[in-house]
Amino acid sequence: MTPPRNSTAARDVAYALHPYTDHKAHLEKGPVVISRGKGVRVWDDQGKEYIESVAGLWCAALGFDNERLVQAAANQMRRLPFYHGFTSKSHEPMVDLSEMLIERAPVPMSKVFFANSGSEANDSVIKMLWYMHNAIGKPQKKKIIGRLKGYHGITLAAASVTGLPNNHKLFDLPLPGFFHVSAPHHYHGAKSGESEEDFATRLAQELEDLILREGPETVAAFFAEPVMGAGGVIVPPATYYEKVQAVLKRHDVLFVADEVICGFWRTGNYWGSQTMGIEPDIITCAKALSSSYLPISAVMVNERVFQGIAEGSSSIGTWGHGFTYSGHPVPAAVAIETLKIYDETDIGAHVRRIGPHLQRSLRERFADHPLVGEVRGVGMVAAVELVADRKTRANFEPGRKIGPRLMKLGEDNGVILRGLPGDSIAFSPPLVITEDEVDEMLDRFGRALDELAVQLRRESLA
Ligand code: PMP
């Protein structure tokens, strides 16, 4: 149906260049215009209601109508709508939020730096690492190791740590000095008959081989999402991080935990690092930090990293890095309120109650579905991976666009789904979702999946 000429949809097609969008398809089909939200649901401009199975982009943790966050923003805007942190200026929201994050950190952390997005936080980490190593007289220790399927954002350095093909070759990336090791995904990555333990040992060895090949004196840091998100919701084998951290310690390579998705209870603990037994030197977070009501991200560094950065003022020149909006008081006030709500409502206990229900229901209802290869996840983050052949675990040809087709069928059935590379469908609903809402979300997903199965059988693809 062609939208009326002056509709939001028509003007979108006329004027908007979208993030992560197939523009050719968009020109033909137009947008889904979301116009309001309540709880775990959003409504489009035609009045159709959807359950948001990924909380927007894994981020609106408190759902779509939290009045306390609205008030926190309005109050702060009236008191001090803007101030910055350059040249030793400060303000209360920036200080309060820094203190709250340090108090909640999974390991002792020293200082907090603010940015506006996950990408900016990770880019800032890379610049901190480069500056710090220049400052302490180790200018050769600059290389960065990420993992295939890892996602750390799309600015130039963050995209270079990201390990997804579409973020690299299409954009002349990665930059020099960035390396990637295998994803800890046993389902696809293990050799025939290889146990999870042996797989983890092999991956830690791969990391050590890379560090030794490059020279440990040239490698600054290893980046990891505790549980990989956008690359497919990949939960590593139990001993993986223990083995990886032993390698990093041996060669004095810092661990950067990208908690942009995992932070703030998503995996069942405050931090994904706690769920996975990681003791990071640096942590980045964003998204649920403010329940995404306003953009804000943070980098926490330990004392050693802070001292390295501080050293630069006398050894090489003042730290010339920071955003106009680093620690902006309005998103900082919203983040403070968000963290208070997590504490006061004991959202952690809620996730520990509902998360297992989500995980169990996904497995009971979909693990044996003819289109499903693997169901995985922990806490309140999960994925259902579709395969063309359950025996060989082969995915559908990317050209078939199975993920996007399921997303469309999901929308028809009242659930907004997110397809990841390799036809995995992510689940990362608002943390406030109830058990009944989980069931309703999975009913709608189940109907979409069954409709896809019927279509594919008709096309002789399943
Ligand atoms: N790191 C992780 C783990 C992410 O999931 C994302 C975004 N999905 C980013 C970094 C980048 O964040 P942003 O889109 O806010 O730049």
Q: What pLDDT, on a 0 to 100 scale, did the predictor assign at position 49?
A: 98
Which residue's alpha carbon is at the smallest distance from atom 1 of ligand 1?
A: 152
- Tell how far the Cα of 389 is from the centroid of ligand 1, in angstroms: 31
Distance, in Å, from the CA atom of 135 to the CA atom of 109, rounded to the nearest integer, reads 20
Q: Where are the domains of the chain?
A: 32-65+346-458, 68-344
pLDDT tens digit string along 295-350?
Answer: 999 999 999 999 999 999 999 999 999 999 999 999 999 999 999 999 999 999 99
- Tell how far the Cα of 327 is from the centroid of ligand 1, in angstroms: 18
Sorted by sequence, the CB contacts under 8 Å of residue 370 that are 6+ apart come out as: 390, 453, 462
Ligand 1-lining residues (CB < 6 angstroms): 57, 117-119, 122, 151-153, 225, 229-230, 258, 260-261, 286
Q: What pLDDT, on a 0 to 100 scale, did the predictor assign at position 2?
A: 66
CATH architecture of 32-65+346-458: Alpha-Beta Complex (3.90)
Atom of ligand 1 nearest to the CA of 116: 15
pTM over 0.90: yes
- Tell how far the Cα of 372 is from the centroid of ligand 1, in angstroms: 27
How large is the average pLDDT for residues 40-44? 98
What are the CA-CA distances from residue 75 to residues 88, 101, 137, 171, 422 (Å)? 24, 22, 46, 42, 45
- Tell how far the Cα of 356 is from the centroid of ligand 1, in angstroms: 25
The yes-or-no verdict on residue 462 having pLDDT over 90 is: no
The yes-or-no verdict on residue 392 having pLDDT over 70 is: yes
pLDDT tens digit string along 112-124?
Answer: 999 999 999 999 9
Q: Are 199 and 237 in contact (CB under 8 A)?
A: yes
Burial of 308 per CB tally in 10 Å (0-12, 13-18, 19+): buried
Residue 53 tokens, joined: 């199975």
Among 18, 119, 291, which is best to mutate for testing ligand 1, by the most ligand atoms less than 8 A from CB? 119
* SS3 state of residue 449: helix
Long-range contacts, stretch 28-34, CB < 8 angstroms, 24+ apart: 30/3, 32/411, 33/8, 33/9
DSSP state at residue 228: B
Q: What pLDDT, on a 0 to 100 scale, did the predictor assign at position 3?
A: 67
Class of domain 68-344 as given by CATH: alpha beta
How large is the average pLDDT for residues 438-455? 98
- Tell how far the Cα of 125 is from the centroid of ligand 1, in angstroms: 14
Among 18, 120, 152, 325, which is best to mutate for testing ligand 1, by the most ligand atoms less than 8 A from CB? 152
Q: Are 399 and 447 in contact (CB under 8 A)?
A: no
Sorted by sequence, the CB contacts under 8 Å of residue 322 that are 6+ apart come out as: 85, 86, 113
How large is the average pLDDT for residues 33-56? 98
Confidence tier at 460 by pLDDT (50, 70, 90):
confident
Q: What pLDDT, on a 0 to 100 scale, did the predictor assign at position 4?
A: 75
The yes-or-no verdict on residue 58 having pLDDT over 80 is: yes
pLDDT tens digit string along 91-102?
Answer: 999 999 999 999
Atom of ligand 1 nearest to the CA of 57: 8
